[in-house]
Chains A and B, each alone.
Chain A
């Protein structure tokens, strides 16, 4: 069994909104509202969900770019804390690649300087950092003699994202968080970058947290998938299980929302009506009950726990919890398999 590289427990991030000028209670955005999960060493954990589900906030929390409201993150057995020394050490081992390849590079630095910057900050001598940079450029498919001296604006989107990947690798991290890293690329370029990511993972023994709204891509690259909805985890399990045998009605609806590629078999019915609700006032009980076809009274009263439906597969739905009070829930006595 692989060890968890990263353990997340009870993680929350609330953003307070500004109080209105005259009265009115201050409101809070419940961006991430209590999530527990592990990232296993050497795996790719895909994170999917719609806007406002908290996937990008989770990424920023994992990277410690923002302080959590509550909860703990443990990396390689040690707690990640907001002290300078510890964070510096943490960020050497955990790196991130963002969606916007242009704004994440300094426009006034050559790409060679951008990539070498991190190692130099961490005390690698200039010459060595430069040599490492050239190796990495070569590795991500950008010939150093042609590209090292260029500036970000002289590259295409796909090339810039390769630079960002090389920069993330420059510190020889164990974990890379990819937040919509291929979403802005054209399809033909996206495929190239996905191939590159898979090769690099194997070569450097990396672990990925791969965040995307594109289900096809997540299914392709992930070992395990985590489906998020309004700041909570709806379902978590092996990619083939979640995609083949989804247990949460939201996962099912999300999956059947994927456009069909078969002209003889087009989508005939809208799988899910309405837009995702606002995370400022998440509905009580199960957060999905306002859009769920199977919602019953219990769903609007109590929040279902993220419970094991089979080993290695968890879903937060009353229909899977024995004795939950939902008419489709299994009988209480048959539920002995709980992990």
Chain B
């Protein structure tokens, strides 16, 4: 089997700027093959966005301690010099964000921003760069692309802006696309358009995508594999099918159960996960989910569980997987 295109080994990210260090990411191992889409799911503070930013080294270097290895296309990202890093960002790995209005420059037209990005990475004439920008606008299905190239970000609707940002991210032919909640701020009918667009582009360009979201539905729509994060660790990982059909980590099960989904009986209380996520500046020694877990035993609070392969396909970081067998398809309702 070929090496995965992107690989994180024991990634740790600690923010040292505050009074006490905040351990946002605590040993994440993740692989993404060429042409594969992996969704990172978690709640706020679970470390999913920080993991994504670490891959591009976007976290402020002076206030951040990163340990572990990040390998993309055979290269060690932590070892890149500033020139290589500039080429790497956008040329090898590109990123799209939740709020395009903040990510795009308000004083340049979209055409100017895309041609600038292309010309930074390649020696190419302005006219050729603009022709490529036009091609990209067509690829992301922006209507009347020629005219839209000359508009400013604030003149576009939210869905069009998100398409424009995707075009900008793809401008320099990256191999990996990092997507940080790209559909969270969008309306329902627009969200599904963007999800399907990402799926098409992934096929068309053979991209590897890491898709960060808190929405299981959005993850299922785009991802081949899903990794569930909690308190800076991946607690369960597997194919989208196995994660949804036969989850084994109590947190994944809790997330699926607490969904206010159509299949639920009306007026019935939701199976909410009690309590709230732990303080990242003060993590417990054992399993970080133990305090909220209905299956927790003393052992869970003492030792940090390793990722084990369950017989139902997923890998779960849990000592009690013998207790957590669920009925296949339990969470996929009408």
Residues on A close to B: CB < 8 A? 50-51, 156, 158-159, 186-192, 194-195, 198, 213-217, 219-221, 239-240, 243, 253-254, 257-264, 266-267, 269-276
Contact = CB atoms under 8 A, between A and B. Distances in A.
B276 A263 contact: no
A259 B191 contact: yes
B244 A261 contact: yes
B214 A186 contact: yes
A194 B270 contact: yes
Given A186-B44, A195-B270, A275-B158, A253 B260 contact: no
B4 interface: no
Given A257-B189, A262-B220, A51 B158 contact: yes
A270 B192 contact: yes
A79 B196 CA distance: 48
Nearest to B159: A275
Nearest to A215: B188
A188 B43 contact: yes
B255 interface: yes
Given A188-B43, A198-B267, A271-B189, A264 B260 contact: no
B272 A259 contact: no
Contacts of B240: 263
Given A258-B217, A266-B220, A191 B192 contact: no
Contact of A191 (B157, B245, B266, B271): B271
A46 to B, nearest CB: 12
B221 A267 contact: yes
A188 B44 CA distance: 11
A156 B54 CA distance: 26
Interface string B210-223: 00001111101100
Interface in B1-55: 43-44
Contacts of B260: 190-191, 194, 214, 216-217, 219-221
Interface string B259-270: 111101011011
A155 to B, nearest CB: 10
A304 B111 CA distance: 41
Nearest to B158: A275
Contacts of A264: 241
A254 B188 CA distance: 7
Nearest to A240: B266
A258 B188 contact: yes
Nearest to A270: B193
A154 to B, nearest CB: 13
B204 interface: no
B254 A188 contact: yes
A156 B260 CA distance: 22
B285 to A, nearest CB: 23
B307 to A, nearest CB: 21
A274 B190 CA distance: 7
B188 A191 contact: no
Closest 5 CB pairs of A and B: A259-B217, A191-B272, A191-B258, A50-B187, A220-B260
21 contacts: A50-B188, A186-B44, A188-B272, A189-B276, A191-B270, A194-B260, A195-B269, A198-B267, A213-B187, A215-B188, A220-B260, A220-B261, A257-B188, A260-B217, A260-B220, A260-B221, A266-B220, A267-B192, A267-B221, A270-B196, A272-B189
B198 to A, nearest CB: 12
A221 B265 CA distance: 10
A187 B188 contact: no
A266 B269 contact: no
A254 B189 contact: yes
Q: Which of B43, B187, B214 has the most CB of A within 10 A?
A: B187
Interface of B: 43-44, 143, 157-160, 187-193, 195-196, 214-218, 220-221, 239-241, 244-245, 254-255, 258-262, 264, 266-267, 269-274, 276-277, 331-333
Given A213-B188, A261-B217, A220 B264 contact: yes
Contact of A239 (B192, B266, B277): B266
B192 A266 contact: no
B332 A262 contact: yes
A158 B44 CA distance: 12
A237 to B, nearest CB: 15
Contacts of A258: 188, 192, 217
Contact of B43 (A187, A195, A271, A275): A187
B272 A192 contact: yes
Contacts of B44: 186
B184 to A, nearest CB: 10
Q: Which of A259, A260, A266 has the most CB of B within 10 A?
A: A259
A188 B255 contact: yes
Given A194-B260, A219-B262, A270-B193, 8 more contacts: A50-B190, A186-B44, A188-B43, A195-B272, A220-B262, A263-B245, A271-B192, A276-B157
Contacts of B191: 257, 259
Nearest to A272: B189
A219 B190 CA distance: 20
Given A259-B217, A270-B193, A271-B192, A51 B272 contact: no
Contacts of B196: 267, 269-270
Contacts of B261: 216, 220, 261
Contacts of A261: 216-217, 220, 244, 259, 261, 331-333
